[in-house]
Amino acid sequence: MSISEGQAKRLGVRASTQWSPYLEKCCLLLSANESYARAEEDIAVLTGIAVSHSTQQRLVHRQVFELPMTEQSVQEMRIDGGKVRLRTPKGQPCEWRDYKGVNLHEHFISAFFQDNAGLVNWVNAQPLAQP
C-alpha cells in the first residue's frame, strides 16, 4: 500500500519511511516500558499491525535523545544506580548490566546505560551553584 506525497505530509510521515508518527510513538512507549518481544505482542493487539521485536529494537536504537540542560544553577544532585537483566536464550544464564540515573532538583532526570563518561560529562556541563 502506497500513500501519496500529500497524504504523507498531512500524516507527518517522514521521507523514505512507512511509519506514522503515532505508530512510532506507540512502539517507543511500549519498548520503554517492557521488553521488545512484549512490545511486539502489545502493538499487534492494540493496533492490528505486526511490528517485530527486532524492528522495535532498531527503532529505539536509531533515536537521538537529547539530554535536558538546566538554566538555573544546580544546588542539589542525586545519583543512583542499579542493574537490569537482559533477556537471554532459554537455558543460558542471565546477563546483568549496570545503569546510573541522575536527578537535579527533582526536575531534570537523565539515565545512562554503561556510559559513565557520558554521565560525568553531562553533570559537568550543568551550571553548578557557588558555595
pLDDT digits (tens, 9 = 90+) for 10-53: 656 566 666 778 888 888 888 888 888 999 999 999 989 899 99
Predicted local confidence at residue 43, as pLDDT: 92
What is the DSSP code (8-state) at residue 127?
A: -
Q: Which position has the higher pLDDT, 119 or 109?
A: 119
Residues 99 and 79 sit within 8 Å (Cβ to Cβ): no
pLDDT digits (tens, 9 = 90+) for 44-60: 999 898 999 999 888 88
pLDDT above 90 as % of the chain: 10
**Residue of 2, 20, 25 whose CA lies nearest to 10:** 20
Grid cell for residue 89? 536464550
**d(C-alpha 115, C-alpha 98), whole Å:** 9
Grid cell for residue 109? 532526570
Q: What's the average model confidence in pLDDT over 94-105?
A: 83
